[in-house]
Amino acid sequence: MSSAVQKPISLRQDLQRIAQWIEPGSRVLDLGCSDGELLAYLRDHKHTDGTGVELDDYSVIASVKRGVPVIQQNLEEGLALFADQHFDTVVLSKTLQSMLHTEHILREMARVAHYGIVSFPNFGYWPHGWAILRGRMPVTGEMPYQWYDTPNIHLCTLKDFQDLAASLGLRITHRAAFNDKAEVSFMPGWRSTLAVYRFESPYFKAA
């Protein structure tokens, strides 16, 4: 066994909040898990049983190096390999806005887990509206791409997401909003750049 001490994982603010919403010892599925940072943190600090899904080759390798179980798959193909309500929580962090089939992935999240957590850039952030009034597509920290090379195809506001969740029968249990590293509680729909939601699956029947 190596005697080297691994550097502690320091999560960004939105991932810290996601980690707070996940129960110790629970089963977690992280969709678009990137380098496995969140799952490694949850494993080490909350003793969770985590699995990641990631398409990018380098991210898969990075996850494996962290000791995180990861399945290489395109999320657009769905989650058919996972049984109904197999997980306690499924996470989709900063990926919802780049999905082609938004409703489908949310339904699949509700099918495979008791709770879902999603985060996405808030298109309602006030400088975005100012940019559009000036005749330009907005470019900000959470949306750093130009209109011609952006992966973000389904942008929304906090209210837009809440309406969609309600239409799909997803009961929102928690919400957090951030502007850079600061959490926003006053007028979050106008002042936040990133939103994080936790919802309960309509298929989950508590004991």
Note the pLDDT tens digit of each residue in 29-85: 999 999 999 999 999 999 999 999 999 999 999 999 999 999 999 998 889 999 999
* pLDDT for residue 1: 31
Long-range contacts of 149-156 (CB under 8 A, 24+ apart): 151/98, 152/97, 152/98, 152/121, 153/97, 153/98, 153/99, 153/100, 154/96, 154/97, 154/98, 154/99, 154/102, 155/97, 155/121, 155/123, 156/97, 156/120, 156/123
Kindly report the pTM of this predicted structure. Answer: 0.88
* pLDDT for residue 47: 98
Q: Which segments of the chain have a pLDDT < 50?
A: 1-6
Give the domains, in start order, of the chain with CATH numbers.
13-200 (3.40.50.150)
Task: Report d(CA 197, CA 113) in Å as an integer.
Answer: 15
The total of other beta-carbon atoms located within 10 Å of residue 123's CB is 21
* pLDDT for residue 3: 35
Q: How far apart are the two ends of the chain, measured CA to CA in Å?
A: 42
* pLDDT for residue 198: 98
Residue closest to 168 by CA, chosen among 124, 106, 125? 106
* pLDDT for residue 78: 82
Residue environment code for 166-205, b if the CB has 16+ CB neighbours within 10 A, otherwise e: eebebeeeeebbbbeeeebeeebbebbbbbbbbbbbeeee
